[in-house]
Structure 1
Amino acid sequence: MTRVRPTGCPGYSQTLTREPGSVGTARRLVRVTLAVWRLEDLADDGVLIVSELASNAVQHARSRSIRVTVTRPETVRVRIGVVDRSRCLPEFRQPHEEAETGRGLALVDTLATDWGVDQLPWGKRVWAELPAKERR
């Protein structure tokens, strides 16, 4: 069973089992969170970003679970992250034209205003940011 929990700054996180079906749950978390914040205009890009980050974690992490976070560290910024227990850093590659995989980080780099990796004592957090317009 998974639970959605609020984070320190405005945001939500959810721990998911490391299996392909969890990517869909991660997409729903992003879509619902952005709707709550009335930032539906970011949903398509946010869903693509979390799909790529979560898929990478499902494929490469060595733990039974991953954690998806959607935070709003500032009113003009949304950060989507995926945490796993692997210390192996993601590789940004230029895939061959006929390759079926390897485009994930290039897509994230195109959609996000910024992205990166935070190394943690027990793993890593891969994150990407989207600009959010202030609502008045």
Structure 2
Amino acid sequence: MTAVPVGPQRYQGRYPATSEAAAHARRDIALALEAWGLPQLVDVARQVVTELVANAVEHTESTTVGASITRTGTVSARVVVTDASRTRPTPGTPADDAENGRGLCLVDALAHTWGSELVHGGKRVWAELHADGPQ
């Protein structure tokens, strides 16, 4: 008997859009990656999901935020954060002494690629993570 693939490994969760959402999503995404044997993606995934969830909480009026991770290869995964806003994120150009505004710049530096798309009920922001780092 041979094994038949049933689809990619995937974790998804929904969180109240509060200041604790990023910490909960970060923990759950890290646990999924560890369970899949992808510890080399844990640190970058934690940083990326933290920034994307924090942006959704801070810059939208969503009551909940979704976060998911899907294994896309032997050493790669895709993080997706969803919210109810139809406004797509754009990286800012914060002043040198600004305390905020660098989240998407960080995502851009850490992810192989990233983007956003409008979906029914809001948008999704995604980032492709590869163990060999960004492009």
The sequence identity of aligned pairs, in percent, is 40
Match of residue 97 from structure 1: 96
For 1:125, the equivalent position in structure 2 comes to 124
Contact kept in structure 2, 1:75 and 1:132, CA below 8 Å: no
Per-residue CA deviation, residues 50-79 of structure 1 (Å, 9 max, x unaligned), is 000000001112221010011113334200
Count of residues in correspondence between the two structures: 126
What is the TM-score when the length of structure 2 is the normalising length?
0.88
Structure 1 stretches of at least 4 aligned residues deviating more than 6 Å after TM superposition: none
In the TM superposition, what are the counterparts of 1:18-33 in structure 2 within 5 Å?
18-33=17-32
Q: What is the aligned partner in structure 1 of residue 4 from structure 2?
A: none
Residue 39 in 1 paired to residue 38 in 2?
Answer: yes
After superposition, the C-alpha distances for 1:17-73 in whole angstroms (9 at most, x for unaligned) are: 000111110110111011011111111111000000000001112221010011113
Moved more, 107-116 or 74-83: 74-83
User: Which blocks of at least 5 consecutive residues in structure 2 are unaligned?
Assistant: 1-6
Q: Measure the CA separation in 1 of the matches of 2:69 and 2:60.
A: 20
- CA drift of 1:121 comes to 2.3
Normalised to the residue count of structure 1, the TM-score between the two structures is: 0.87
Aligned to 2:14: 15
Give the secondary structure class of the aligned counterpart of 1:99: coil
**Structure 1: gaps spanning 5 or more residues:** 1-7
Structure 1 residue 59 corresponds to structure 2 residue 55: no
Q: What amino acid maps onto 1:114 in structure 2? A: T
